[in-house]
């Protein structure tokens, strides 16, 4: 097994992960609109209240005092808010840490309700890694219920994975008429494999400050990850290249980063506005648009209802595909690479139908 003492840190490798302009300015906003705190404001994203009852989380927090340690002894204890983030953390830490994912891979991340086990894990954790922005409205009450104050605010033991990401769909104004919009920009940034490299950089940057004696090990594991991403990007781009410019329809605004990376055109959404269920009027208008643009694919996620996409598919001849936002959401999808493989292959098959 590779150890920290056995690994040297080449200057170019160190520069790539810790001393680039991007990582030096991780705490600075990219634009006035993109400036955001580590936790969303009270009430979560615009138009959406916190989804976890405060009284329940405070009751759960009391259980911590009477529960044994849930982590393996002798390892760094890391809690990640989602399975895909946990997967990226594991790429960096390998067997030096125990990593726990809070949310379920098959549940809508917007509406996840933390469990007593989640509270206990956060209580015992050394490091807390999250998506940042305002996607996880349940995150601040979870941390407060766990009573782990070092994860509140901008503490160095909490790693915000959104730092350094060029956000899309930053709203120019805020109104309840816009539905459940994300006030800092679209938070589904991990679906772009190039953004996964930035996320891994954030993990290395955060962990190196906390565990400097293992910095070299983290850097080398991250470099290996980046090399694998670069190789797979050639494969994924090759598979998607014939379909550049192809229009697709998605259920929710979950795929702008993926679509931009691979040159797809999102022509419309089954939701009339984010977070609002499809209406008959909206679907009729969308079906007309799909016929005009010859849309061949409708993208949904596993937790979305199936009736509406099936109706639109019947009337337009489109194919409904279920894509994954998380590692573990389908059999055999055990890491970031297999998740992206799955999504690319499903889309290619549908677009070639």
Span 48-65, pLDDT tens digits: 444 445 445 544 545 444
Nearest C-alpha neighbor of 102 from the set 130, 74, 124, 137: 130
Q: Where in the chain is the domain with CATH 3.40.50.1980?
A: 7-234, 244-351
Nearest C-alpha neighbor of 36 from the set 154, 202, 157: 154
By three-state DSSP, how is residue 301 classified?
Answer: coil
Strands 76-80 vs 97-101: parallel, antiparallel or unpaired: parallel
- Backbone conformation region of residue 114, classed left if phi is above 0, alpha if psi is from -120 to 50, else beta: beta
| C-beta of residue 274 within 8 angstroms of C-beta of residue 255 | no
By three-state DSSP, how is residue 266 classified?
Answer: strand
| C-beta of residue 229 within 8 angstroms of C-beta of residue 193 | yes
Instruction: Point out the residues of the chain with pLDDT beneath 50.
Output: 1-52, 54-55, 58-59, 61, 63-69
Confidence (pLDDT) at 200: 98
HEC-encoded secondary structure of 203-224: HHHHHHHHCHHHHHHHHHHHHH
- List helix spans (H) across the chain: 11-18, 21-24, 54-63, 83-93, 116-124, 139-146, 193-210, 215-240, 256-262, 280-293, 307-316, 336-351
Burial of 233 (0-12, 13-18, 19+ CB in 10 A): middle
Report the C-alpha gap between 271 and 286 in whole angstroms: 10
Percent of the chain whose predicted confidence (pLDDT) is above 90: 72
Domain 7-234 has CATH 3.60.15.10: no
Give me Rg for the CA atoms of the chain: 21
- Domain 244-351: which CATH number of 3.40.50.170, 3.40.50.1980, 2.60.40.10, 3.40.190.10: 3.40.50.1980
Confidence (pLDDT) at 182: 81
| C-beta of residue 97 within 8 angstroms of C-beta of residue 75 | yes
| C-beta of residue 77 within 8 angstroms of C-beta of residue 126 | yes
| pTM of the predicted structure, to 2 decimals | 0.81
Confidence (pLDDT) at 183: 86
CA 262: distance to chain centroid? Answer: 18
């Amino acid at each position: 097994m590779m150890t920290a003492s056995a690994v040297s840190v080449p200057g170019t490798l160190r520069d790539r992960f810790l001393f680039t302009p991007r990582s030096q300015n991780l705490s600075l906003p990219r634009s006035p609109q993109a400036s955001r705190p580590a936790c969303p404001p009270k009430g979560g994203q615009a138009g959406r209240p916190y989804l976890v009852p405060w009284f329940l989380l405070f009751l759960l927090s009391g259980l911590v005092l009477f529960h044994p340690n849930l982590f393996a002894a002798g390892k760094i204890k890391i809690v990640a808010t989602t399975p895909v983030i946990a997967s990226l953390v594991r790429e960096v830490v390998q067997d030096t840490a125990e990593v726990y994912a809070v949310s379920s891979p098959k549940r809508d991340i917007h509406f996840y309700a933390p469990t007593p086990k989640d509270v206990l894990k956060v209580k015992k954790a050394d490091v807390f890694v999250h998506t940042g922005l305002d996607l996880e409205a349940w995150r601040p009450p979870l941390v407060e219920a766990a009573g782990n104050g070092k994860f509140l605010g901008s503490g160095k033991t909490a790693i915000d994975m959104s730092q350094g990401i060029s956000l899309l769909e930053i709203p120019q104004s805020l109104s309840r008429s816009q539905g459940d919009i994300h006030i800092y920009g679209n938070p589904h940034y991990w679906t772009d494999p190039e953004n996964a490299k930035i996320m891994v950089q954030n993990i290395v940057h955060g962990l190196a400050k906390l565990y400097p004696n293992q910095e070299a090990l983290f850097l080398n594991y991250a470099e290996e990850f980046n090399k694998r991403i670069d190789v797979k990007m050639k494969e994924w781009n090759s598979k998607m290249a014939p379909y550049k410019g192809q229009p697709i329809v998605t259920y929710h605004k979950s795929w702008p980063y993926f679509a931009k990376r691979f040159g797809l055109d999102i022509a419309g959404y089954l939701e009339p506005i984010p977070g609002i269920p499809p209406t008959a009027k909206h679907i009729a208008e969308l079906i007309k648009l799909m016929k005009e643009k010859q849309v061949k694919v409708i993208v949904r996620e596993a937790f979305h209802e199936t009736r509406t996409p099936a109706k639109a598919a019947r009337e337009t001849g489109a194919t409904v595909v279920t894509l994954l936002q998380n590692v573990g959401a389908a059999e055999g999808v055990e890491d970031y690479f297999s998740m992206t493989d799955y999504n690319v292959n499903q889309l290619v098959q549908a677009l070639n139908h």
